């Protein structure tokens, strides 16, 4: 199966290939990840996700198409809703910054695949400059909360897939614009030591996840995510467990 813009996010491609987002889903809840693969569960698209997609769409040149496909971002008067006016402001701010735009000037939405840990992986890179660096675009509430999203895992996989495709070890950057009233902009480099550590973490977890995905092992229910709350019945718990940590 050759991956293209059209089939990258399909179910068939998600069964065949691992991706950073799929790996993260397995770390959060194996049962939800498997239900999603089987087409039984679709996590809701939040407003915050949609604002992020609006911002991303400008940089990959698909903003007009995005506006066509998401009528819900407009009011009845055909004006952009407040959150998306904010995203527009972030775009305007980023466009005026030469450094930010330099990092975003690579090949947009570069798709690559490689065999890692015994299974095929796919990546889609926001800005790929083949002899310089890999950059992923992020819109974030603020800078402080960035590490919460484990972008080190993303950088580790992107870098390793690029390396296996013959591009050498490219540094990984995040081009971040905040959703604050006055948008802030920074370029963060994730140090090589953090990327190496993240790749080892993935390597340690993969044998188990591969067995879950192939159906050899029954997936674990995390018990707290939206999917688990939907499918699991009530259980008896000890009240005191709520007081722990
Ligand atoms: Zn769960």
Q: What is the CA(232)–ligand 1 centre distance, in A?
A: 9
Per-residue model confidence (pLDDT) at position 105: 97
Would you place residue 244 in the very low, low, confident or very high pLDDT band (cuts 50, 70, 90)? confident
Q: What is the CA(139)–ligand 1 centre distance, in A?
A: 26
Would you place residue 48 in the very low, low, confident or very high pLDDT band (cuts 50, 70, 90)? confident
Q: Sheet of 133-140: strands edge to edge? A: 107-116, 119-129, 133-140, 172-178, 185-189
| CATH no., domain 11-44+97-243 | 3.90.320.10
Q: What is the CA(38)–ligand 1 centre distance, in A?
A: 15
Per-residue model confidence (pLDDT) at position 162: 98
Taking only the tens place, the pLDDT of each residue in 69-102 is 999 999 999 999 999 999 999 999 999 999 999 9
Would you place residue 1 in the very low, low, confident or very high pLDDT band (cuts 50, 70, 90)? confident
Q: What is the CA(179)–ligand 1 centre distance, in A?
A: 29
The CA distances from residue 231 to 27, 38, 44, in Å, are 19, 15, 16
Q: What is the CA(96)–ligand 1 centre distance, in A?
A: 42
Q: What is the CA(201)–ligand 1 centre distance, in A?
A: 21
Q: What is the CA(36)–ligand 1 centre distance, in A?
A: 11
**What's the CA angle centered on 4, arms 84 and 105, to 5 degrees?**
55
């Amino acid at each position: 199966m050759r991956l293209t813009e059209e089939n990258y996010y399909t179910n068939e491609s998600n069964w065949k290939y691992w991706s950073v987002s799929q790996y993260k889903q397995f770390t959060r809840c194996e049962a939800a990840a498997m239900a999603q693969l089987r087409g039984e569960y679709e996590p809701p698209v939040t407003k915050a996700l949609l604002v992020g997609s609006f911002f991303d769409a400008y940089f990959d040149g698909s903003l007009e198409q995005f506006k066509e496909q998401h009528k819900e971002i407009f009011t009845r008067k055909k004006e952009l809703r407040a959150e998306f006016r904010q995203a527009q402001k972030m775009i305007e701010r980023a466009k005026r910054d030469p450094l930010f735009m330099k990092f975003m000037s690579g090949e947009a939405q570069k798709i690559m695949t490689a065999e890692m840990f015994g299974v095929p992986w796919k990546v889609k890179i926001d800005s790929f400059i083949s002899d310089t660096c890999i950059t992923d675009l992020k819109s974030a509430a603020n800078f402080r909360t960035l590490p919460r999203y484990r972008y080190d895992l993303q950088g580790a996989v992107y870098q390793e897939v690029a390396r296996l495709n013959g591009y050498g070890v490219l540094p990984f950057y995040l081009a971040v614009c905040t959703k604050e009233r006055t948008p802030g902009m920074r370029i963060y480099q994730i140090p090589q030591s953090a990327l190496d550590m993240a790749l080892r973490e993935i390597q340690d977890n993969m044998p188990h996840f591969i067995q879950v995905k192939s159906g050899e092992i029954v997936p674990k229910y995390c018990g707290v995510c939206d999917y688990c709350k939907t499918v699991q019945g009530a259980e008896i718990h000890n009240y005191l467990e709520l007081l722990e940590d």
